[in-house]
Amino acid sequence: MPDEATGRYDDETLHHLQRVELKILEDIDRVCAEHGIAYFLDSGSALGALRHGGFIPWDDDVDVGMLRADYDRFLEVAPAALGEGYCVSEPVGNPRQSALFAKVWLVDTKFYTDETLRAGIAQGIGIDVFPYDALSADAAVAAKQLKACRFWQSVMYVYHSASVAVPHGGALGALERAAVRAAHGVLRLASSHEALLRRFSAAAAKGAENPGDEVFCGSYAQFGSYPASIFLPTRLEPFEGRKLPVPGGAERYLEIMFGDWRQLPPVEQRRQHRPVELDFGPH
């Protein structure tokens, strides 16, 4: 587990966690190769590949992305192809999951956060799998798509938890936290996971009616959109001694997401997920 005083891992634990996550990534890579599914290292994992040749040194997770057709195909084949040692969790099949993307975890491990404990999810050590949807060619519709996805993902988080991160501290932060608790109570009475998921999914899929040249990740719509041509075809880059796919235009992708991605962030901005319980099981 992370150190209680600093909230950070000791080096041995972090390196072991990264090795286990790398094994999961290798299995996902195998399944995608066997079934002709295009995927790419996403977000901080793509950044790690280009800047560090592997994990960002302090990073404790792996992210992969897929365009929608590949994502849907992955969800079809992955549970059987990965085998009984894995759980493929996604919000349609798991009504306790607030994150509106898939997670692949080892069933005999624990990676419990405050969020998953409150939701009652026995989450293991795993990898996040993000779908990318078409953004509408109509600029007004596209703006509504992004706004709606941001809104419904936020509402889903509040539905599942009375305690979420708020933007301020002090008295204003206390008021914001009280408002979240009140909104949580109202949502639990007036709505459902399935209803909120339908709203989010409809917004994410709106671009398929008149697709433009951009795609976006609905779960992180605050980052905006990317030219679809950035992603496919992918290219291979070194990652922990292996060659794994990144977006074909990875440098431009990272510029859009991170700005000056080659510059190391200050120590205080080096984020980790900080599970409250971490168990490697037999791994």
pLDDT of residue 1: 47
What is d(CA 125, CA 15) in angstroms, rounded to the nearest whole number?
13
**Dist. CA 192–CA 216, nearest whole Å:** 25
Question: What is residue 119's predicted lDDT score, i.e. its pLDDT?
Answer: 80
Burial of residue 160, with CB atoms counted within 10 A of its CB: 0-12 exposed, 13-18 middle, 19 or more buried: buried
Contact status, residue 238 vs residue 54, Cβ threshold 8 Å: yes
Q: Running DSSP on this structure, what letter comes out for residue 274?
A: -
Q: Residue 270's pLDDT is what?
A: 82
C-alpha to C-alpha distance for 218 and 204, rounded to whole angstroms: 6
Q: Residue-wise pLDDT tens for the chain (283 aa)?
A: 444 444 567 889 999 999 999 999 999 999 999 999 999 999 999 999 999 999 999 999 999 999 999 999 999 999 999 999 999 999 999 999 999 999 999 999 999 988 888 788 889 999 999 999 999 999 999 999 999 999 999 999 999 988 776 677 788 878 878 888 999 999 999 999 999 999 999 999 999 999 999 999 999 999 999 999 999 999 999 999 999 999 999 999 999 999 999 999 888 888 887 788 999 999 9
Residue type, 65: G
